[in-house]
Amino acid sequence: MLRTSGYVLLPVLLVAAAAAPPAAAHNPAGTLRLGMLQGMFKDVPEVVVKATAQPFADMFQKQTGLRGDVFVVPDCEVLASQMKDGKLDVGVFHGFEFAWVRDRYPELEPMALAIPPRRKVQACLVVHKDSKADEAKDLKGPCVAVPMFTNAPTRLYLERIQAGVPAGCCECAKPERLSPEEVLDGVAQSRITCALVDHSALTAYRENKPGAFNQIRVLCESEPFPSAVIAYRKGALSPTAVKAIRQGLANAKNTGQGRGFLMLWQLQGFEDVPSDFDAEMKRSAKAFPPPAAKQLKVAMPE
């Protein structure tokens, strides 16, 4: 199963959009151009990305009468810029990246938020319960194991940790193709010094392996990250279409196809943008300030 927090959003977005009437009057070309970040396909081979995106675009065309063209872009700056310039109509952003670009791109309007597993996006640095480390700076050398498909917010948190500790501390261990459970098993059995996992993986481990979970502890954890954002360019969709898509997203959990997508991609569902969204964006940008445009490596594959 592909476990990546952004890729999850596209299939359900397209299913929900089936409820929207064709917006040919607002898009003379009869297409809706959807932008996805390359960084949302972490550890997924390019051939799989291309093979999987096209069927969703075909489904969009069949259900709405609009051709849904999917474009994978390198980072959030390119996605926001292309939406502003009218090259893309809808974009899927990591929540923290939408916080980076929103003030500079007022043309972008949030349409809906993803509801992540257990409603929380948070990164955790985990060690064995008997580890002598009290802080991240106590972890020397390449000792942090990062599971496959680790999401961008979790990786961003590790980058912030590494920026705040002396050189040679809290470095990534040699990459291994291990799942979050396998990495946590390694920490519990003292085979791995430290693991970087998200809150959802850690909670699942506690529920599935309570004995092993008792052998580990959280050394430090991030502030909660904002949920992923589905945004559109103002004027790209009619108010009626936007309303229908929002309703479709909210109703995804009540349809067989929608439940299948949510189960496959491990989402609880979608929800409307809350009243405190602007405040949350500001909190996120303060906790994780945007890097220079040329350093937007979080959204890029390694």
Q: What is the CATH number of domain 9-116+226-295?
A: 3.40.190.10
- Per 3-state DSSP, the chain is made up of helix, strand and coil in percentages (nearest 5) of 45, 20, 35
Residue with tokens 């040329």: 294
Query: d(Cα 219, Cα 205) in Å, to the nearest integer?
Result: 16
Query: d(Cα 63, Cα 59) in Å, to the nearest integer?
Result: 6
Rounded to 5 degrees, φ, ψ at 116 are -75, 170
Sign of the dihedral through C-alpha 59, 39, 78, 9: positive
Instruction: Identify the CATH homologous superfamily for domain 122-221.
Output: Periplasmic binding protein-like II (3.40.190.10)
Tally Cβ neighbours within 10 Å of residue 221.
15
pLDDT beneath 70, residues of the chain: 1-30, 40-68, 256-266, 292-302
Domains 9-116+226-295 and 122-221 are alike in CATH topology: yes
pLDDT of residue 3: 42
Query: d(Cα 267, Cα 95) in Å, to the nearest integer?
Result: 15
Q: Which stretches within 34-94 are classed as H helix? A: 46-64, 76-84
137-167 exposure pattern, b = at least 16 Cβ within 10 A, e = fewer: eebeeebbbbbbbbbbbbbbbbeebeeebee
pLDDT of residue 144: 97
Q: Where are the domains of the chain?
A: 9-116+226-295, 122-221
Query: d(Cα 11, Cα 46) in Å, to the nearest integer?
Result: 18
Paired with 37 in beta bridges are 73
pLDDT of residue 248: 73
Of 151, 95, 93, 163, which is closest to residue 123 (Cα–Cα)? 151
pLDDT of residue 60: 46
pLDDT of residue 178: 94
Strand order in the sheet with 67-73: 67-73, 31-37, 90-93, 229-233, 108-115, 269-271
Query: d(Cα 5, Cα 48) in Å, to the nearest integer?
Result: 16
Tokens of 169: 């501390």
Q: Indicate yes or no: pTM above 0.85.
A: no
